[in-house]
Amino acid sequence: MKKTDNNAMNKVVEINDVSFAYNNKPLISNITFNIYKGDYLGIIGANGSGKSTLVKLMLRILSPTGGEIRMFGVNINNFKGWSKVGYISQKATSFNLGFPASVEEVVGANLFSRIGLFKSMKKEHRDLVYSALEKVGMQDKGKEMIGSLSGGQQQRVFIARVLVSDPELLILDEPTAGIDIKSEEAVYCLLSDLNEELGLTVVMVSHDIGAMTIHASRFVCLGENGFFEHTPDDKISSELLTEIYGHGVLLHKDCVNCCRHGEL
């Protein structure tokens, strides 16, 4: 687990007193926390607690009804450096499986601005694609059709698609939804590697509290009874989670065969 540098200079995202309401119904109320360079931040909470909404606010898909969000020190409304931010949605793997696209084409899609108008992918761009695929252990699958891969492999391709544009912050919204447990663990381990080895700041929404307690360096928890922020020094206990979720939550902390590098 990478140790976060909580220096004020290293703030990647600042959430200052942020609130959000759907049709005048408050969903998020007066939340304040920071995300620092090198964080592996887990956002956990019950269904409907506003986890995905919080991510959409950070991506400016939604606008807060109160408070301020700053990205890399700039107010989100004036922020132009979106190429530094990579996002993988819940829906990433729910694409049309019959879509005739190769892995290489899917990953290369994120290089569109670098390739430019009237131009097609050149060797230098292809090298970037394969370098991103190598980071997720999929370099030998470049020519395969995306629909022929397993759910876990597809998710790794989508992570490579984000990595190809060299982001500093990676935001994932339930990236393991719909994939099997082994592949799920592999995705968590891959993200740990990217966080530790490349220093990538990772923000992940997950319903899997057990996995988050193992992999994430910090948490924010959204629940019926409010908002809680935790550092690695705080212990997440079943009692605390019961307080957050408003009902009993069983916490598993064991990680069998966890993160054996090279076995993703």
Partner 1 sequence: MLNIFHYDFMLRALLVGTLIAIITPRIGVIVVLKRLSMIGDSLSHTSLAGVAAGLVLGINPVLGAVFLTIIAAFGIERIRRAFPRYSEIAIAVIMSTGIGLAGILSGFVRNSASFNSFLFGSIVAISDFELYMIISLCALVLITVIVLYKELFYITFDEESARLAGIPVNSINIVFTLLTAITISVSSRIVGTLVISSMLVLPVASAMQLSKNYKQTGFLAIIFALFFTLSGLFISFYLNLKPGGTIIIVGVVTLVLLMIIKIRPAAAVPSIKQE
Q: What angle do CA 250, 207, 229 make, to 5 degrees?
A: 85
- Report, in Å, the least distance between residue 20 CB and partner 1: 19
With residue 220 as reference, give the H or E element that holds it: strand 218-223
Instruction: Fill in the per-residue mask, 242 to 261: x = in contact with partner 1 (CB under 8 A), - = not in contact.
Output: --------------------
> Cα–Cα distances in Å, from 11 out to 8, 93, 168, 177, 216?
6, 31, 12, 29, 17
Return the residue of 43, 55, 106, 157 that touches partner 1, per CB under 8 A: 106
Distance from chain centroid for Cα 30: 23
- Cα 247 to its chain centre, rounded Å, is 26
State the alpha helices, DSSP H only, in 5-150. 51-58, 103-108, 112-115, 123-135
Q: Rule CB under 8 A: is residue 89 a binding residue for partner 1?
A: yes
By CB under 8 A, which span of 40-48, 110-118, 177-185, 242-250 interacts with partner 1? 110-118
Q: Binding string to partner 1 for residues 156 to 185, with x set by CB under 8 A, is what? A: -----x---x--------------------
| Binding test (CB under 8 A) with partner 1, winner from 9, 117, 250, 256 | 117
Which residues from 52-81 bind partner 1, rule CB under 8 A?
Answer: 59, 61
Candidates 43-51, 90-98, 182-190, 217-225; binding stretch for partner 1 (CB under 8 A): 90-98
Interface residue with partner 1 among 47, 118, 122, 257 (CB under 8 A) is: 118
Measuring CA to CA, which residue among 133, 134, 43, 137 is closest to residue 90? 43
Q: Which stretch binds partner 1 (CB under 8 A): 13-21, 96-104, 183-191, 251-259?
A: 96-104
Strands 218-223 and 226-230: antiparallel
At CA 79, angle to CA 73 and CA 85, rounded to 5? 85
For the chain, the C-alpha Rg in angstroms (whole number) is 19
Q: How far is the CB of 106 from partner 1 (least distance, A)?
A: 7
Q: Are 43 and 222 in contact (CB under 8 A)?
A: yes
Q: Name every residue whose Cβ is closer than 8 Å to that of residue 208 and which is 6 or more positions away in sequence.
A: 176, 184
Answer for which of 1, 21, 109, 258 binds partner 1 (CB under 8 A) is 109
Give least dist CB 89 to partner 1, A: 6
Which residues lie across from 227 on neighbouring strands? 222
Closer to partner 1 by Cβ: residue 142 or 223: 142
Residue 102 in contact with partner 1, rule: CB under 8 A: yes
Among 62, 145, 240, 255, binds partner 1 (CB under 8 A): 145
Q: Would you count residue 83 as binding partner 1 (CB under 8 A)? A: yes
Contact footprint for partner 1 (CB under 8 A): 59, 61, 82-83, 87, 89, 91-92, 95-96, 98-102, 104-106, 109-110, 112-113, 115, 117-118, 120, 143, 145, 161, 165
